[in-house]
A and B are shown apart, each in its own frame.
Chain A
Amino acid sequence: MVDEQEHSGSDSEDNLDTEEDNGDQEETDDSDEEKSLPKKRPLPANVTEAGESKKRKLKKELFKPPTADEMTHLRQTENLFHSNLFRLEIDEMMKEIQVKEKVEKRFQSWFSQLQVFLDNLKNSKEFPISDLKWLKGFNVTLPIKLDPSKFSGSFCFVKPTDLSVVGSFAAKCCLGPNLEIDVRVEMPKVVFLRSDFQNQKYILKRALYVCYICSKLQKSELADEVEFSLLEGDPWKPILVIKNGEKLGKRVQVRLLFVPEAECFKLTQLAPEKVNIKTKWATGKEPEDGLELPSTYYNRSVAVDVALTENEQWRLEKMQEQKSLSEGIMLLKVWLRQRGLDQGYGAFSGYIMSMYVAYLLKGKKLNNAMSSYQVIRNTWNQLSREDWTQKGCTLCPKEIGPQASDFHLFFDVVFMDVTGYVNICGNMSSEIFQQVRRESALAIKYLDDHGINSFSALFMTNLPFYRQFDHIVSFDAASVRKAEQQLDIPARLDASGPWFTHLGIVGVLRQALDARVHLMCPQLEAVGTWSPVDGPPNPSERPFVLGLALNPEHALALLTKGPAANLPEAKIFRNFWGERSELRRFQDGSVCEAVVWASAGGIAKRRLVCREIVSYAAQKHLGVDNLLYIADQLESVLPLGLGEDGALAVAKACDALGRQLMQLEGLPLDISSVQGAAPSLRYSDPFPPAPYMAFKSKDAFDTVAMKTSECKNKFISPIPVVLNLALSNKWPEDLEAVRRIKAAFYIKIGECLKQQLNIISQPFPTHINVLKDGFIFTLKMYHAREVSLLKETTTPQGLIRYRDTEESLSLEMQYVHLPKLTSALHGLHMSHPCMGPASCLAKRWVSSHLLLDDTLMPELCVELLMAHLFLSPAPYQPPIQPQTAFVRFLQLLARAPWTSEPIILNFREEITRQEIIEIENKFNSERSTLPPLFVVTPEARSGTVLTKHAPSSQVLYRLTQLAKASLQTLDKELLTNENFDYKLIFRTPMNIFDVVISLHNQLTRKDESLDATHVDRPKTIPDQANRIPVVGLDYVQCFLKDLRESYSDYALFFCDQHGGCQIGVLFKPNVLKRQEFAVSHTNGHIPKPPKQMEFSQDLFIEDVKILGEGIVKSITIKD
């Protein structure tokens, strides 16, 4: 409670004080107000006047005296919840996931039938347990992997002594809409002998009991389907899953959990240090050194069953009928489920979570008066602070039983139950617990950050495993077996499955990667169900998948530094790294052991140092050489890699040119700053311009720039740069004159460059092209007065007003916003070096789907959305690997939050909290008038500047659909298919278009196309050049422009900017319908006398042929 008050509806808190005259005593104050309000506060005069207008009615609604209910509701929201919206959102979600009453009723009647059914079961005869041939008669295969021949004795079925609903359903925190209802079936004492807890006999008898009930249930009408599954993914703990579409409902599953009757076994005998499986019995040999190993995991497995009843009783007692508490648990469960942490062997299950909440309740960290929001908040807060790997917590009163510290000798993670003998988190690895802790800390961070919609980040977003991590390592089953041999893991008698090998692998990799990773998390996989006829699934057949969350500070280091050579630790280091380890002298004079990874190469290679380390360690210590390492696969779609090196060269040349320009002498006004505006200067150009070969003419020539007749070069993209001049009051107050002066300036700059620095250039009326280090820069000058001259209008009264015009906006975009955004994005890229490359991937993807175009989806928008992922990465951490960032970009597109939330890019935290609220309010009230994609940056706070014309909602919808399809493919293939062709998600279907225009390949930018092979880029620095080649002449874009000029009213044109050789045409709806003749809409229509006209597709084709003569190869029309 104390913790909460600072976070509750912070903006309204101040006002609260003014409303309550005597401060803190909420309770008394509340009732006071309720009683007195109607009397004390007569309606304001203006409201009592019966107003008929809607506005007045609304006002009346707002000013009517509050009821008691309303006051408590408002007060509760202010004090007990994050915000009003958060509360409403919780309520809405609860409606979706709560158990419906009719479902509960249906279950209750089914349950009573089950009781009767089990009660009527007859005792069976005695079956031998060393030979299970008789089981075939029941049509059931033993659901565990045990060799029965080692056992002796017999099994006899006796009907269960007790049946009760347990688990989350009983505690009223069951997650819908797909319900799993746990029913506890108590096996009678007589089935077991006192010594059956030894040597796995209990496990076998329990399994046989399950089989027997299964066979009976199969024949009854209670179940449509009976299947086996596993409790907690433990291969020794089969349970029954019952489905009955008619009696239970389609979305309900009942799970029968089997536990022995109380007093069957003593918990003291099942303490973790006890030896309950004898080596002699298991292997036939005496243990080598005469020491028996404790059967810790086996003991736990049995003890869980024994202690289940007691734990359940205790939990139910603690959480009796407390709605907000069970709501809180449900929220936490949803949170776990979305992160994939709650299912599978060693998971942080919902059961553990609810036990933990009960623990906090017991420790008075939570109380009954808390709202569900406070419950989750405090739970996360506590969880992020605790470390169960060091100091476990216990539900058991301290005096009795073993202490938590004893358990730490046997388990990674310790959380003891009420009996004090069972570790609830016994199967959990410390990695999973650390992840849960980290996620809890993140959750608190999101709740505190008001800038983001934390509700959707915490509860509504699914986080598939591969999107959470930068790198994924996958060991297939064969590799795991190899590693098992190599690691020489002693055969454990007390657990079944490859878990210990997994721990060994994690250990090796943890030692190899050390500080390079924040987290190394195994993938948890939910155990499915299987039919009773089939055998149980073999956990050893599954691949072992690890996700690595890189630590950006260390992950990219080229060198792993070891201890000083003279220390004893050096030997361990040398042993671990083998021949790769070498002695090195460091700058501080020390001589240390060290391993050097990727010798040289760009940043793209440095990101993969971890891969090199993992594959080396895997080969050396695990004997595995065919790892599936997912990190950079998608990068292969770009023939030039991610363009970082190219961009670096451009940036260098641009900086140099900028410095030279600012030092030019003899200009009438000094150049005060030089700002680049090209995507390559933000590291987000998938095909950064390459320095070209020297163009040189020996003969005399008129102009430095070459004409198309003189040279036929490949497409070269110019690099736009904006110049700012020193202030001067001598500029003319006339647009035409300003244009002339600017042109004269360009000529002067050209002269100075030639004379002082021998740099060649070509001035144009609107800009100047300059050749520097083989790159061609297009310099344009910004004169602020020009924009205001364009905006200026005079009213009839002689008042001068400034209003935006199309022209002024486009000028501002070019000269002000673009350079500023370029520097902001560049800055962000510097702190997150994978942003630029990730934008390249994203742009390539959008372009491949023919949508990257200034009229459809401008490239700047793609980059801004990508930047959004880095500025507000919730629910993730900012990615390190471009591929991960790209996948999350797809997820953002698929989620399409733009209809309901503004995209706020708070570069350098310049927008204050108050402003964000204002922006959100504006967004909510004026949504329909705002552009479909609403992006706010500190420079463009109105949110309309950058996306006014594009993208349209249709384009956004298409992007969402495409992103969903791409993600589906990735979900399916990424982790499983080693030979997956990543280009698949970059191929777009052409069959949706009405007309497809094929172009001649040689006129397109074919080097950039998806299937282009890698082209070596020229590295010559053309010192000798005296001509500037043809720049920026892209025939496909020219053609598209012509087409749009003629037909933009009737059709949309789509083309891949990067080497696409097909243009897709989509007619707007209703265009092909016959229409009344109207002068304004005759274009491209043929007459249908007397008064109608019709858009002619034939004429359109004819026009395409005329407009694209020489570039159009063929035209296909969809029939």
Chain B
Amino acid sequence: MASSATQICGFLAIPVKYKESSGASHWLYCKAHSVRVKTAGKPVGRTLFVVNVPAFFTEDCFQKMFGEFGTVSNVFFHKKPTASVPEEETSNFFKKSEPVKGYKVAYVVFEKSSSLEAVLKLKWKTPKVLFRKQDKAPPSAVQRWNAAYDEQITAVADLQADIDDFMRKFDEKAKGEAGNLKESEGQADEDGWIKVTKKGRKPGLARKESVEQRVLQKESKKKAKKELLNFYTFQIRESKMNHLAELRHKFEEDKKRIAQLRQSRRFRPF
């Protein structure tokens, strides 16, 4: 183990400071990304897996940190480690996933695998300062909140245009699917099976849990009707015994409750 690089359980710890004046430094724990499930977005060999990434870290911050080792082509943020890549956003107004906030996990994808190796080889002795004095100051918290508020307010026309665009595509797609369904209606597939759909003449029962339960209930009712109640002596005896058992059960329950209350000293009136 290198004498000065901080290694912990296979992770390389990199200290980072927000500003030069910051009292304490954050630590990023890095490791080369390696998982069984391979995805194109996070290629093994070029992806750096980072945990304990503070809330203020953005893609730019990683550019700043690792830019000197080679181009960073992509950064993905997640709340928890995952092999998949977040879905691509198609609209400015309707986001598919919420932005990741708080402490997070990052996957930094480099253009070349050599950059990754270089990062992992370095000893990272002194904390890296993210926002130097000469740099543009990061937005203050109040500015951030204001910006987030302003961002929601959009011109109505843009919103309408976005909606129209989506709905056009959606309608087209729906039409296509409906067409396909209609075509396949009543047609046998290559094995000779005919698919029964809800569109046909006899749609059958809906395949829902509630419907299935209703059917079962009806059945059990029918069954119960056929049985004779309190007819045989043993039945009467049993029902009496059951009643006694129920009383005893209730009594035991109440006793338990009293014991509970007694523990919390609920019986001292004064």
Contacts and interface: CB of A to CB of B under 8 A. Distances in A.
A62 B207 contact: no
B37 interface: no
A63 B241 CA distance: 7
A558 B244 CA distance: 62
Nearest to A176: B270
Nearest to B147: A708
B207 A800 contact: yes
B269 A88 contact: no
A707 B159 contact: no
Nearest to B265: A96
Given A62-B248, A337-B269, A1087 B13 contact: yes
A734 B170 contact: yes
A1077 B12 CA distance: 12
A799 B207 contact: yes
A786 to B, nearest CB: 14
A364 to B, nearest CB: 31
Contacts of A883: none
B163 A763 contact: no
A799 B81 CA distance: 32
Interface string A559-582: 000000000000000000000000
A84 B250 contact: yes
Interface residues of B, number: 79
A703 B141 contact: no
A41 B241 contact: yes
Contacts of B270: 177-178, 337, 462
A1109 B261 CA distance: 50
A933 B10 CA distance: 45
Given A705-B153, A1042-B141, A1099-B26, A744 B163 contact: yes
B209 interface: yes
Interface string B259-270: 011101011111
A92 interface: yes
A102 B34 CA distance: 77
Q: Which of B7, B81, B94, B261 has the most CB of A within 10 A?
A: B261
Interface in A37-55: 40-41, 44
Interface stretch (A24-32, A215-223, A717-725, A1090-1098): A1090-1098
Contact of A74 (B8, B103, B247, B269): B247
A556 B140 CA distance: 54
Contact of A1077 (B8, B166, B241, B249): B8
B9 interface: yes
Contacts of A737: 166-167, 170
Interface stretch (A350-358, A583-591, A970-978, A1032-1040): A1032-1040
Given A1045-B102, A1107-B55, A740 B167 contact: yes
A799 B206 CA distance: 9
B204 interface: no
Nearest to B79: A1045
A657 interface: no
Nearest to B1: A1090
Given A707-B153, A736-B166, A1045-B55, A799 B268 contact: no
Contacts of B260: 900
B24 A95 contact: no
Interface string B64-86: 00000000000000001100000
Interface stretch (A12-20, A663-671, A1005-1013): A12-20
Contacts of B18: 1102, 1106
B224 interface: no
B80 A1080 contact: yes
B254 interface: yes
Q: Which of A460, A900, A1079, A1107 has the most CB of B within 10 A?
A: A1079
Contacts of B121: none
Contacts of A334: 269
B18 to A, nearest CB: 5
Contacts of A1082: 29, 51-52
A1061 B64 CA distance: 36
A326 B101 CA distance: 68
A900 B208 contact: no
A1033 B269 contact: no
Contact of A899 (B102, B264, B267, B269): B264
B22 interface: yes
A460 B261 CA distance: 12
Interface residues of A, number: 102
Nearest to A91: B258
A1035 B153 contact: no
B247 A703 contact: no
Given A337-B269, A1084-B52, A1086-B27, A709 B150 contact: yes
Contacts of A490: none
B52 A747 contact: no
B228 interface: no
A19 B240 contact: yes
A19 B239 CA distance: 9
Contacts of B56: 1106-1107
B142 A1110 contact: yes
Interface string B30-69: 0000000000000000000001101110000000000000
Interface in A1063-1116: 1077, 1079-1080, 1082-1093, 1096, 1098-1099, 1101-1103, 1105-1111
A743 B141 contact: no
Contacts of B207: 798-800
B27 A41 contact: no
Given A899-B264, A1038-B145, A338 B269 contact: yes
B132 interface: no
B6 interface: yes
A406 B188 CA distance: 107
Given A1096-B24, A1110-B141, A1046 B251 contact: no
Interface in A1014-1043: 1030, 1033, 1035, 1038-1039, 1042
B255 A88 contact: yes
Contacts of B152: 764
A732 B209 contact: no
A702 B253 contact: no
Given A899-B264, A1108-B141, A84 B167 contact: no
Contact of A900 (B146, B255, B266, B267): B266
Given A63-B245, A900-B260, A1077-B8, A763 B156 contact: yes
A1109 B140 CA distance: 5
B261 A900 contact: yes
A639 B268 CA distance: 41
Nearest to A1034: B145
B97 interface: no
B154 A703 contact: yes
B141 A1102 contact: no
Nearest to A74: B247
A466 interface: no
Nearest to A87: B254
B174 interface: yes
Contacts of B149: 707-708, 1030, 1033
A92 B159 contact: no
Contacts of A1079: 29, 51, 81
Interface in A446-476: 456, 459-460, 462
Given A764-B153, A1084-B52, 4 more contacts: A703-B156, A732-B174, A1042-B141, A1102-B22
19 contacts: A74-B247, A89-B267, A95-B267, A708-B150, A736-B94, A740-B167, A743-B159, A750-B156, A763-B159, A800-B206, A1045-B55, A1045-B101, A1077-B9, A1087-B6, A1090-B9, A1091-B9, A1102-B18, A1103-B54, A1106-B54
Interface of A: 12, 15, 18-19, 40-41, 44, 61-63, 66, 74, 77, 84-85, 88-89, 92-93, 95-97, 177-178, 334, 337-338, 456, 459-460, 462, 702-703, 705, 707-709, 732, 734, 736-737, 739-741, 743-744, 747, 750, 762-765, 798-802, 899-900, 921, 924-925, 1003, 1030, 1033, 1035, 1038-1039, 1042, 1044-1048, 1077, 1079-1080, 1082-1093, 1096, 1098-1099, 1101-1103, 1105-1111
